[in-house]
C-alpha cells in the first residue's frame, strides 16, 4: 500500500527512512502520524512493541510479582509507574497482560479517605500527580476496576481556581503546577477515551486547564513574561513527571485541540531547535536509575524528531 505523507509537512525521504529504521515503538507512530497509514497498516507494527526492541526489553525486566524495580513509584525511573508510563508512550498494545498485571498493583489498596488512591506509607493524602498517572495508565491498558471513576472524580475536585492542578495545594500552594497539570490532563484524556459517557464533564475541566497553559504561552511567567524555568524549553524523553513545551504541544495535538496563537512561541522555539539536517537532538536524561538508555545525549533523536514533526504537521503556521 502506498502511504501518503502528512500534507502539512515536506519531510525528506531520508528523514522518513531514518525514522522507519528505528525501534517498532517509533515505526508504528511514524506510520500513523507522519504517513497517515490506516490502522490495518500500523497495527501489526504496533504489536511488535511487545516482542521486539525497547518494549520487549522492558517487559522482560518485570519482577516475578508483576511489578518493576520492586516498587510501585520508586526507585525512579525503574519502578512500576514509570516503566508502565514509558510503555504507554511507546504504544504497547493496551491488551498486554503484563502491563495489566502491573496496573493491578495500584488497586490493591482501598480508596483513601480523601477519595483518591494513596500508594505511599509516608504521606497521609492522595498525591494528585500520581493519581493522574494511575488514571491514565489504568485507562490506557484497559484495567477493569470501578474505582477508576472515583479517582477521576477526585482529580476533578482538586482542580484549582486558575484551571490547573498542583500536588502542593494541600500544603498551601495557590498557583497550579505545570508538571502536575500535564500529568492530570494526560490521565483525563485516557479516561475520556475509555469512558466516552464522561466526556462532557471532563472536557469542561480540560478546557480550563488548557487556558491555564495557554495563558502562560506554554512556558512563560504570567507576571514577568520570562521563561519560568530553562527545563521547560528542553526536549527530554522519556518525560517522566516533568513538563516541557513539546510535551504540552504534543498533548494538544493528541487530543485534537485547535491551534491557538498562544502556542506560537512554543512552535517557533521547536523550529529553532531543529538541526541543519532537519532533525532534533536527544537531551541528557533526568537523573535517576534507568534500565537502559533509549538514545545517546547530543545525537539525533528519533523520539524528538517524531514528536516535533507531528506537532509541526498539526499546527503548520
pLDDT in tens, 259-293: 999 999 999 999 999 999 999 999 999 999 999 99
Task: Kindly report the average pLDDT of the chain as a whole number.
Answer: 96
The DSSP output letter for 240 is T
The answer to whether residues 193 and 139 touch, using CB atoms and an 8 Å cutoff, is yes
Q: What is the pLDDT of residues 11-30, one digit of tens each?
A: 999 999 999 999 999 999 99
Long-range contacts of the stretch 256-263 (C-beta < 8 A, 24+):
257/210, 259/315, 259/317, 260/214, 262/214, 262/215, 262/217, 262/218, 263/214, 263/217, 263/218, 263/315
Count of alpha carbons within 13 Å of 35, Cβ hemisphere only? 22
84 pLDDT higher than 80: yes
Q: In the predicted model, what is the mean pLDDT of residues 287-308? A: 98
pLDDT in tens, 40-53: 999 999 999 999 99
Nine-digit cell string for 199: 466526556
Instruction: Supply 78's cell numbers.
Output: 525503574
Report the Cα 223 to chain-centroid distance in Å: 28
Please give the Cα distance from 281 to 149 (Å, whole number).
Answer: 39
Q: Distance between CA atoms of 117 and 111, rounded to whole angstroms?
A: 5
What's the confidence (pLDDT) of residue 142? 98
Secondary structure percentages of the chain, helix, strand, coil, to 5: 50, 5, 45
Q: What is the pLDDT of residues 55-65, one digit of tens each?
A: 999 999 999 99
pLDDT tier for residue 10 given thresholds of 50, 70 and 90: confident
Q: What is the pLDDT of residue 104?
A: 98
Residue with cell 510535551: 247
Is pLDDT of 7 > 70?
A: no
CATH classification code of 61-314:
1.50.10.20
Q: Please, where are the H alpha helices in 105-216? A: 128-140, 147-157, 178-194, 199-215
Q: What is the pLDDT of residues 197-248, one digit of tens each?
A: 999 989 999 999 999 999 999 999 989 999 999 999 999 999 999 999 999 9
The ranges assigned to domains in the chain are: 61-314
Whether the per-residue pLDDT at 67 is higher than 50: the answer is: yes
The rounded distance, in Å, linking the Cα atoms of 181 and 202 is: 14
Is 28 buried (19+), middle (13-18) or exposed (0-12) by CB count in 10 A?
buried
pLDDT at 66: 98
Q: Report pLDDT for 4.
A: 39
- For every residue of 196-239, DSSP letters joined together read GGGHHHHHHHHHHHHHHHHHTTTTB-TTT-SBS-GGGGS--SS-
Rounded CA-CA distance 5/43 in Å is 18
Cβ atoms 135, 155 nearer than 8 A: yes
Per-residue model confidence as pLDDT tens digits over 138-168: 999 999 999 999 999 999 999 999 999 999 9
Query: Rounded to two decimals, what is the model's pTM?
Result: 0.96
Question: CB of 70 within 8 A of CB of 105?
Answer: no
The pLDDT assigned to 8 comes to: 55
Amino acid at each position: 500500500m502506498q502511504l501518503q505523507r502528512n500534507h502539512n509537512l515536506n519531510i525528506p525521504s531520508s528523514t522518513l527512512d531514518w525514522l522507519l529504521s528505528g525501534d517498532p515503538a517509533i515505526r508504528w507512530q511514524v506510520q500513523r502520524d507522519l504517513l497517515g497509514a490506516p490502522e490495518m497498516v500500523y497495527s501489526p507494527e504496533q504489536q511488535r512493541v511487545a516482542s521486539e526492541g525497547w518494549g520487549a526489553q522492558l517487559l522482560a525486566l518485570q519482577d516475578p510479582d508483576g511489578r518493576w524495580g520492586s516498587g510501585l513509584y520508586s526507585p525512579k525511573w525503574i519502578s512500576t509507574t514509570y516503566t508502565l508510563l514509558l510503555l504507554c508512550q511507546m504504544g504497547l498494545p493496551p491488551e498486554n497482560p503484563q502491563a495489566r498485571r502491573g496496573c493491578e498493583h495500584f488497586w490493591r489498596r482501598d480508596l483513601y479517605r480523601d477519595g483518591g488512591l494513596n500508594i505511599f506509607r509516608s504521606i497521609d493524602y492522595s498525591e494528585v500527580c500520581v493519581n493522574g498517572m494511575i488514571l491514565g495508565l489504568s485507562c490506557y491498558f484497559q484495567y477493569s476496576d470501578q474505582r477508576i471513576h472515583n479517582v477521576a472524580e477526585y482529580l476533578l475536585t482538586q482542580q484549582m481556581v486558575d484551571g490547573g492542578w498542583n500536588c502542593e495545594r494541600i500544603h498551601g500552594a495557590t498557583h497550579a503546577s505545570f508538571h502536575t497539570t500535564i500529568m492530570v490532563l494526560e490521565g483525563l484524556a485516557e479516561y475520556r477515551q475509555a469512558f466516552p459517557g464522561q466526556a462532557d464533564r471532563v472536557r469542561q475541566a480540560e478546557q480550563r486547564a488548557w487556558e491555564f497553559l495557554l495563558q502562560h504561552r506554554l512556558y512563560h511567567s504570567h507576571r514577568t513574561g520570562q521563561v519560568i524555568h530553562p527545563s521547560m524549553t528542553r526536549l527530554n524523553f522519556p518525560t517522566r513527571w516533568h513538563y516541557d513545551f513539546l510535551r504540552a504541544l504534543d498533548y494538544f495535538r493528541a487530543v485534537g485541540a485547535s491551534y491557538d496563537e498562544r502556542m506560537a512561541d512554543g512552535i517557533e522555539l521547536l523550529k529553532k531547535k531543529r538541526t541543519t539536517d532537519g532533525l532534533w537532538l536527544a537531551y541528557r536524561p533526568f537523573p535517576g536509575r534507568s534500565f537502559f538508555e533509549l538514545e545517546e545525549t547530543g545525537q539525533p533523536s528519533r523520539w524528538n524528531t517524531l514528536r516535533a514533526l507531528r506537532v509541526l504537521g498539526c499546527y503548520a503556521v
